[in-house]
Structure 1
Amino acid sequence: MPKVYVPHPKYPTVSITGSRCELKCDYCRGLVLRTMVQIESPDRLLSFCKRLKERGGIGCLLSGGFNKEGKLPFEPYIETIRCVKKELDLMLSIHPGILNKDEAVQLRDSGIDIAEFYVILSDNVLRNVMHTKPNKDDVLKALDIIYTYGPRYVSPHITVGSDYGKISWEYEAIDALRDYDPYVLIFLILVPIEGTPMAHVKPPSISDLVNLFATARKKLENTELALGCMRVRGKYTQTLESELMRKGLVDRITVPYTSIPEPTIHTCCSLPDSVALKYIQK
């Protein structure tokens, strides 16, 4: 049976840019940021983390809106991150975006535990859906940089169906990850959101998703496959979860719709077992 992850409330997601995002991707338009804890200054992040620690929190995911270079503007928060790690000993993960070597080293030296990296290998998606300047070669270069110079743990993410519901480049992303033997690969699946250009796009079919997971299982033999928190709820995810479990294609599920008789881990599904299994609630 897959491991069960329920991050809220002990491992919340924080937007360090508030509701601001320069990209306005066609599948989000910045609306997802409204579901996160809104933090817009280093002092407020430190105060939030202190309260989180007092409430028995485990850590948090630092996210937010990206700039046109496809990066989360985290530099003003580096000293605060270092302080949180040293004084509060919370787990910290981050959606950094596309980094250069100096930025990757900066994140590692700050004490960030996990870099959650989006592996998007489609020039069309990067330019016409996400509206970023980098191309897929820049993403591949940044992937290598973050594995070589970044935080100790890297959890690659694939946003499936971001090309208006179609699956294509995702297979190339799986191939690219074979060189890094990741401990986990997290699949996020398009959720049509009202108020965006993709509001009425159908998410990928269950059969296409099962085929994608099966390919990842075959090509990444040592990698745990995770069904992340971004996916359409209801019958769609119930059917998907059931099919993936029946075929033995999923090792981690975040906030499962299906009842799974396993202990709950109150963290992001990106944490390595050596860390996450400390936080099992039986």
Structure 2
Amino acid sequence: MSSHKIMVSRDKLNADYQNSLEDLMEKAWKTRVKYHVNTIAFAAPSPKYYEIENYKNDSNTFINVSVTGDKCALRCEHCKGNLLKSMHSAESSNELISLGESFVKKGCKGMLISGGADANGEVPLKYVASGIKELKRMGLKVIVHTGLISEETARILKECEVDQVLTDVIGDRKTAQKVYHLDKTPEYFGNALRIMVEAGLNIAPHIVIGLDYGRVLGELEALYQVTNSNAQTIVLVVLNPLPNTPMSSIEPPQLGEVGKIIALARILSPKAKIMLGCAKPPKHKEIIERLALNAGVNAIAYPADETVSLAKDRNLHSYFSPLCCSLL
């Protein structure tokens, strides 16, 4: 593994986090103004119905696919396989190709290919490589959610010419054990990012704020790993307690902490695109989106009416897209 430049130290990260929310938000907004155009993207991909004044998404434009059906070896505490049940199933290359052909006829532009992880935390994407290649030949945008990754899988995905690779980064070993049932250190997740980068893949690491049953424990370390990977797209989501999971009744993370993490992501990676992704607890959706917009994110998935109005108030030009926010 080649050496890489440390962009930010843990000491600086922890020191910055001690600043007030107001100070961090002000600095984050100034960072956005300095490095980015005054445009914000609003993503509304097909898996979730979305309608707002002057925009309505289409159920076929961008779809989610599981290559394992609803099967997952990890059965993470925040999901328990529930998210897989909402995806189209394609457990072989032939099924993937057939699904692609069917949806291209309906106007499909792209797919997120994911699935349940194996015991090592990796989604078995290499077994459908020929199917992914065919989807690319159809002209589809293809992004993949890998979980953790081997050098072999990274090489195969590069050969498949996937447009982007998504992976969660966990910054606390006990959280990884307790929630993901994986005994992996933050450095292991950081190394997975480096494997992807060195394979030439376009990465979009995800950080779940409040992953440890609503508590903010490893998010700063996750930011450290992501920032030092030099990712040019970073997706932040907030734990959304799902029904039929052990987390169904927990309280989401403190909103002030959520705001600080988003602001720090903007400050520490000034030129990267920072996105607020799909997952947000519904009862705090508007507040979280307001914090994210004021912290200078570049895109927000499924924004509330109030968020779209706030963008206008802050003199941001906005546009809607049916693609995943990480592609915008």
- In the alignment, is residue 158 of structure 1 matched against residue 212 of structure 2? no
For residue 7 of structure 1, give the secondary structure of its aligned residue in structure 2: coil
The structural deviation recorded for 1:150 is 4.5
Paired position in structure 2 for 1:254: 301
Matches of 1:217 and 1:170 in 2, distance apart?
14
Query: Which of 156, 160, 165 matches 1:115?
Result: 165
Matched, 1:220 2:258: no
The equivalent residue for 1:76 is 127
User: For residues 266 and 161 of structure 2, what CA distance do their matches in structure 1 show?
Assistant: 31
1:42 aligns with 2:90: no
Give the AA of the match of 1:185: I
Q: Quote the residue 2:288 is aligned against.
A: 240
Equivalents in 1 of 2:291, 2:227: separation in Å? 25
- Name the residue aligned to 1:168: 217
Q: Is the CA contact 2:84–2:116 (under 8 Å) kept in the aligned structure 1? A: yes
How far does the alpha carbon of each residue in 1:21-40 deviate from its partner, in whole angstroms, 9 at most, with x for none? 11011111111111211222
Q: Deviations over 1:30-71 (max 9, x none)?
A: 111112112222212111111221111111000111111000
Aligned to 1:32, the other structure's residue is in SS state helix
Q: What displacement does 1:177 show?
A: 2.3
Matches within 5 A, 1:90-169: 90-151=140-201, 153-169=202-218
Counterpart amino acid of residue 44 in structure 2: V
TM-score by length of structure 2 reads 0.78
Q: Secondary structure at the match of 1:267?
A: coil
> 1:232–1:197: structure 2 CA closer, same or farther, 3 Å change rule?
same
Q: For 2:191 and 2:292, locate their aligned partners in 1 and report how far apart those are by CA, in whole Å.
A: 32
How many residues align? The count is 268
The residue number in structure 1 matching 2:249 is 200
Unaligned runs of 5+ in 1: 277-282
SS in 1 for 2:182: coil
Q: Which runs of 4+ in 1 moved over 6 A?
A: none
Match of 1:3 in 2: 41
Q: Which residue of 2 aligns with 1:178?
A: 227
Deviations 1:187-212 (A, max 9, x none): 12111112211111111122111111
Aligned partners of 2:180, 2:222: CA distance in 1, in Å?
Answer: 17
Q: Is 1:26 aligned to residue 77 of structure 2?
A: yes
Q: Which letter maps to 1:3?
A: A
TM superposition score normalised by structure 1:
0.90
Distance (Å, rounded) in 1 between the aligned partners of 2:186 and 2:223: 14
The structure that has the greater radius of gyration is: 2
**What RMSD over aligned residues (CA atoms) do the two structures have, in Å?**
1.6
C-alpha contact 1:161 1:203 (8 A) present in aligned 2:
yes
Share of identical aligned residues, percent? 27
Preserved contact between residue 242 and residue 258 of structure 1 (Cα < 8 Å):
no
Aligned residue identity for 2:87: M
1:264 aligns with 2:328: no
Paired residues of 1:3 and 1:253 also in contact (CA < 8 A): yes
Give the partner amino acid of 2:322. Answer: H
CA distance 1:103–1:244, shift in 2 (3 Å): closer
Q: Deviations over 1:63-118 (max 9, x none)?
A: 111111000011220111112212x0111000112112222111100121111121
Task: Specify the code of the residue in structure 1 equivalent to 2:305.
Answer: T
170, 187, 211: which one aligns with 2:260: 211
Q: Is the 8 A contact 1:165 1:190 kept in 2?
A: yes
Distance, in Å, in 2 between the alignment partners of 1:157 and 1:134 is 16
Q: Is the 8 A contact 1:107 1:150 kept in 2?
A: no
Distance, in Å, in 1 between the alignment partners of 2:85 and 2:304 is 23
Paired residues of 1:155 and 1:184 also in contact (CA < 8 A):
yes
Gaps of 5+ in 2: 1-38, 47-58, 313-317
Query: Does the 8 A contact of 1:13 with 1:36 survive in 2?
Result: yes
